Every structure is written in structure tokens, then in C-alpha cells.
Structure 1
Amino acid sequence: MIYSGFEIKSFEVGKGQWHARIQRIDQRPVVIDGILFPMLDIGFAWSDPDAAIADAKRTIDRFPQRSGMTLPVAEASA
């Protein structure tokens, strides 16, 4: 799923333990406090994939509020 310039994928680690991974759709790294991350695994072990995706969306929504965060070009210029 694409959300706000990021691709979100849910994945299961263990039975019924869902996580989400986000990556910029332009394939550039996310920069947090000067550290480059090609992708980020987000959140907790959720009981279903939809909950993991919802958590990832909340995390993405907080990105502009963090200092040192570099967003996708389309998002930064909006």
C-alpha cells in the first residue's frame, strides 16, 4: 500500500504477530537525525496486518514533526 509517499508492507513474525515495514516510494533513504535508513520496521507485534498498517500510518504522520527528518521530495514541497 502507498501512503503519503511511502510504501507500507505488513509481515508476520511468528504466528499472529504482525509488523509493518515502510520505505520511501522514490527508494531514497529516510534520514532521521543524520542517519540514513533504507527502510524502517515500525511498531509492535500486532494481532492482525491491518493494525500494523494503521500503526505505520500514524508513524508516517508524525514524521514532519521530528527534527532532522527528510521526507520524500513531493511531501516536503507540499
Structure 2
Amino acid sequence: MIYGDCEIKSFEVGKGQWHARIQRVDQRPVVIDGMSFPTLDIGFAWSDPDAAIADARRLIDRFPQRFATIVPSAEALS
């Protein structure tokens, strides 16, 4: 599913243990404390894929500066 500037995919690790993977749609890395990640796997195991995706959406909403595409203003380019 596409959510904002991110693609979220759920995947199962073990029977009934669902996680989510977040990747930016533009394929740029997510930068956290100066470290870049091409994808982020959300480590909490949920009992169904929809719950894993909902958790990933909450994470994106909580830290929008990490997941948003930042477009420099015209002034910054001058």
C-alpha cells in the first residue's frame, strides 16, 4: 500500500507473526540520526497483516520528517 511518500508491505516471519516494511516511493533512503536505510522493517510482531500496516502508518505519522520527500525551496537553490 502507498501511504504518503512511502510504500508499506506486510510480511510474515513465523506462523502468524506479521511485520511491516517501509520504503520511500522515490527509492531514496530513510535517514535516522545520520544513518541511511533503504528500507525499514518494523520489528513488532502482529497477529495479522492489517495490524502490521496500521503500526507502520502510525510510525510514519509520528516521524514525518524522516519519511517525507523534502523539496528545497527556490530560495535555498539561489
TM bin, normalised by shorter chain, reads 0.7 to 0.9
Residues paired across the two proteins, number? 73
With normalisation by structure 1, the TM-score equals 0.83
Q: Which runs of 5+ in 2 are unaligned?
A: 74-78
With normalisation by structure 2, the TM-score equals 0.83
Identity %: 78
Q: Structure 1 segments of 4 or more deviating over 6 A?
A: none
- Cα distance in structure 1, aligned partners of 2:9 and 2:55: 12
1:71 aligns with 2:68: yes
CA RMSD for the aligned pairs? 2.0
Aligned partner of residue 27 in structure 2, secondary structure:
coil
- 1:4-54 Cα shifts (integer Å, max 9, x gaps): 110000000000000000000000001111110100001410000000000
- Cα distance in structure 2, aligned partners of 1:19 and 1:32: 20
Partner of 1:53: 53
Partner of 1:17: 17
Q: Which runs of 5+ in 1 are unaligned?
A: none
Residue 70 of structure 1 deviates from its aligned partner by 6.0
